[in-house]
Amino acid sequence: MEGFMSIDIFIIILATGVRLATPFLLAALGEMFVQRSGVYNLGVEGIMMMGAFAGFFATLQQGSPLLGIIVSLAIGALMGLIMAFVSVTFKAEQGISGIGLYMFGWGLSGLLFRLYVGGVTSIDGLKPIAIPMLSDIPLIGQVLFNHNVLVYTAFLLVPLSGIILYKTSWGLNVRAVGNKPEAADTLGVSVVKIRYQCLIVGGMLAALAGAFLTIGQANMYADNITAGRGFIAIALVYFGRWSPWGILLGSLLFSMADSFQSMVQVLGINFPYELAVILPYMVTIIALAISYGRVWAPAALGKPYERGTRG
Amino acid sequence: MKKKVLSLILAALTILAFSGCAAKPATETTPQKTDAEKIRIALVLPATVDDMAWGQSMVEGLKAVQKNMGEDKVEVAISEKLGNAVDAGAAIRQYATQGYEIIFAHGSQYQSVLNDIAKDFPKTTFAYGTGFATQPNIFAYDPQAQEGGYLLGILAAKMTKSGVVGIVGPVESGDAVKYNYGVQQGVAKGKADVQTRIAYTGSFNDIVGAGNLAKTQMSAGADIITGSSQQAVGAVRAIGETKGNYWLSTDMDQSSIAPDHVLASQVYHWEKVVNKIIDLRKQGTLGGQHLTLTLADGTIEFKYNEKLADKVPAEVKAAVETAKQEIISGKLKVELPKK
């Protein structure tokens, strides 16, 4: 197919990849904080659905995507709080309660949609904002600087999360709580408080990822709109070894592969579509398999903290 | 102990949330107790009753039947979001146990599940589609999606300015394959040098994915786009945000999503199919027939979006109409992919 490797096609693949990476980045960065504090929240997908619905609904009602973002953040915080209540205060088995939260979020978002909207309804979502000057740079401008505000937010959160995690005392506390909660406790760091904070932040970012799908991409809502993206985000936390830059790498790898395979299909290059659609998953799994084991995992991950026992 | 209690609460909440949306959808399940005359019909859907596509078209068909025969003569119960064939199987078995006489499993993925269940309920009529394999008490229904696809293909070829027609497909199977094949042939017939580019998302209900694939199609040059399945609404919406691109819809008229962008539609009218199954059952035929939906018998309709009707030149409309009459008269047979 002539012109396949043309520069235009290349730019489209990269720019699409950046857009596709956004929900993964947001949700995975949130989950990174959660896991760094020693909890894994498998309910990300459910929180995303709630955030997707909340953002969509607020935008539909008030015509303001900005309000949609705020409402989805609030709902995400609430969902994170529920998870914290169950898994930190009541020390429930984290895997099970996470799956419960996922199903709860899925069921509730579908129910609310049916009750208050019902049927396919469009909204006016976020518009791309071309950053002055930067968007005029050849190549990079189109790829990086002509997206909506949530895309910029997601990418800015990468260095920001790095700074918070490695350069602030709160970040130190988070890492301590996730690695040696008993030591942190001895030093007067409240394990419960830190884990609550992380789950709330994680919930907010997951909900934002969901809101990105409705008000930043689809401009509508449908049941199960996340279609598994929340679980991919969790996998990307492992892939990225609990570091923001690793998560950035994983999100981009997955999304670029996805963007690339769509273009391969669209241009009619002779390649079985079944293989094309699993390409992003294959690339990610292979990259995960050839990288190290779980050495980087927070030591107390998945273990509820009981004061007076040894983690 | 605390943990157990809490897990239970959470499980209960989950079940509540689910039963809220799955078991009691927006449908009229008239109370039990049947008189002899009343027909009880159940429908199992992969997506939702209001998906603006495959599922909704069938729901509207059933409602039309109910309206014509009388609410007191037909009872309709619907279960949604059962894309997973195993979960659907549980619902189908339950409907059969409860004495529903005709059970529609609205998807090709339900075929093997139905084969299992139908043996245990020899007096119940089951129907599924898209498909062709039947059993003594299983009907298979089969929209000839390629027929409308062919007409839409001609329209696309004659309307495209870029010379590229894009398809946003779900999974390469059943209805989608037939439809896409019809579109391809129609495009080739409409204008020789127009390309048809087919791509699939690998899912039936990823509306975000369908929207993104539509964007990729447009950025690579397609200006007329089409595609089947319930996720297509995401693609329609993506096209609705652009200028100068058009969507061609199938299963249902999707022009309400993007009134200025949906040029024409292939619409399935399920009412006749449902009526036929009811009649056959009354005559004692519980299944075993392969029922097609075609342009010829009016179960498939080709429809322009009235709002955009003046955008389509008369000679284009004439070409589409000629092909339509040829398909109806049997002079033209739109081919299906050879297995």
Output the six-digit token pair for A222. Answer: 């449908």
A82 CA to chain B: closest CA distance, Å? 10
Domains held by chain B: number: 2
Determine phi and psi for A10, rounding to 5 degrees. Answer: -60, -45
Quote the CA–CA distance of A17 and A14 in Å, as a whole number. 5
In three-state secondary structure terms, A26 is: helix
Residue A56 has pLDDT above 80, yes or no: yes
**Closest residue on chain A to B258 (Cα):** A122
The predicted pLDDT at position B243 comes to 94
The predicted pLDDT at position A268 comes to 83
Residues of A with CB below 8 A from B231's CB?
Answer: 222
Output the six-digit token pair for B326. Answer: 């040829």
Say if A130 falls within a structural domain: yes
The CB density around residue B33, as the number of other CB atoms within 10 Å, is: 6
Cβ–Cβ gap A122/B25 under 8 Å: no
In three-state secondary structure terms, B44 is: strand
- The CATH number of residue B184's host domain is 3.40.50.2300
Share of chain B above pLDDT 70, in %: 89
Residue A5 has pLDDT above 80, yes or no: no
B34 preceded by a cis bond (ω within 30 of 0): no
Residue B16 has pLDDT above 60, yes or no: no
Quote the CA–CA distance of A195 and A201 in Å, as a whole number. 10
Average pLDDT, chain A: 93
Instruction: Count the residues in chain A.
Output: 311
Output the six-digit token pair for B177. Answer: 């394959």
- B40 and B71 together in one domain: yes
Say if A289 falls within a structural domain: no
Query: Of B25, B216, B222, which is closest to A262 when you measure between CB atoms?
Result: B216
The predicted pLDDT at position B312 comes to 96
A122 CA to chain B: closest CA distance, Å? 7
Residue A280: which of A299, A261, A296 has the closest Cα?
A261
- B96 and B172 together in one domain: no
Share of chain A above pLDDT 70, in %: 96
Cβ–Cβ gap B52/A110 under 8 Å: no
Say if B85 falls within a structural domain: yes
**Closest residue on chain B to A215 (Cα):** B208
Output the six-digit token pair for A69. Answer: 């973002």
The 3-state secondary structure of B199-223 reads EECCCCCCHHHHHHHHHHHHHCCCC
- B124 and B79 together in one domain: yes
Number of Cβ pairs closer than 8 Å across A and B?
A: 143
> For B111-132, what is each residue's pLDDT tens digit?
999 999 999 999 999 999 899 9
Say if B335 falls within a structural domain: no
The predicted model gives A24-33 an average pLDDT of: 98
- B289 and B303 together in one domain: no
Say if B1 falls within a structural domain: no
Residue A3 has pLDDT above 70, yes or no: no
* Enclosing domain of residue A23: 7-230
Confirm if A84 and A196 have CB atoms less than 8 A apart. yes
Average pLDDT, chain B: 90
* Enclosing domain of residue B133: 21-143+270-293
- B68 and B212 together in one domain: no
Say how many CA atoms lie within 13 Å of B21 toward its Cβ: 26
DSSP secondary structure letters along A105-158: HHHHHHHHHHHHT-S--B---PPPEEPTTGGGSTTHHHHHSEE-HHHHHHHHHH
Say if B338 falls within a structural domain: no
In three-state secondary structure terms, A210 is: helix
- Note the ipTM here: 0.92
> For A272-303, what is each residue's pLDDT tens digit?
888 999 999 998 888 878 766 656 789 999 99
* Helix and strand element counts for chain B (H, E): 10, 12
The predicted pLDDT at position A311 comes to 45
Cβ–Cβ gap B234/A100 under 8 Å: no
The predicted pLDDT at position A297 comes to 86
Residue A2 has pLDDT above 50, yes or no: no
Residue A217: which of B206, B227, B257 has the closest Cα?
B206
Find tokens 């189908």 and name the residue.
B92
In three-state secondary structure terms, B290 is: strand
Instruction: Please classify residue B4 by burial: count the beta carbons closer than 10 Å to its beta carbon, then call 0-12 exposed, 13-18 middle and 19+ buried.
Output: exposed
Residue B91 has pLDDT above 60, yes or no: yes
- B174 and B316 together in one domain: yes
The predicted model gives A246-275 an average pLDDT of: 92
- B94 and B183 together in one domain: no
The predicted pLDDT at position A72 comes to 98
Say if A280 falls within a structural domain: no
The predicted pLDDT at position B5 comes to 53
- B167 and B262 together in one domain: yes
Query: Which of A109, A212, A262, A264 is the best substitution to test chain B (most B C-beta atoms within 10 A)?
Result: A262
Instruction: Give the pLDDT band of residue B23 (cuts 50, 70, 90).
Output: very low
Say if A249 falls within a structural domain: no
A44 CA to chain B: closest CA distance, Å? 15
Say if B222 falls within a structural domain: yes
The predicted pLDDT at position A292 comes to 61
Q: A40-75 burial, b if ≥16 CB within 10 A, otherwise e?
A: bbbbbbbbbbbbbbbbbbbbbeeeebeebbebbbbb
What kind and span of H or E run contains B45?
Answer: none
Instruction: Give the pLDDT band of residue B28 (cuts 50, 70, 90).
Output: very low
Quote the CA–CA distance of A171 and A40 in Å, as a whole number. 17
Cβ–Cβ gap B7/A118 under 8 Å: no
- B150 and B139 together in one domain: no
The predicted pLDDT at position B168 comes to 97
The predicted pLDDT at position A270 comes to 80
Cβ–Cβ gap B2/A278 under 8 Å: no
Region of A188 (left: φ > 0; alpha: ψ -120 to 50; beta: rest) is: left
Say if B64 falls within a structural domain: yes
Q: Are strands B39-44 and B102-105 parallel, antiparallel or unpaired?
A: parallel
- B117 and B224 together in one domain: no
Q: Are strands B246-249 and B290-293 parallel, antiparallel or unpaired?
A: unpaired
Domains held by chain A: number: 1
- B305 and B164 together in one domain: yes
Of the listed ranges A73-87, A144-158, A259-273, the least confidently predicted one is A259-273
The predicted pLDDT at position B192 comes to 93
The predicted model gives B162-168 an average pLDDT of: 97
Say if A2 falls within a structural domain: no
A83 CA to chain B: closest CA distance, Å? 10
- B306 and B187 together in one domain: yes
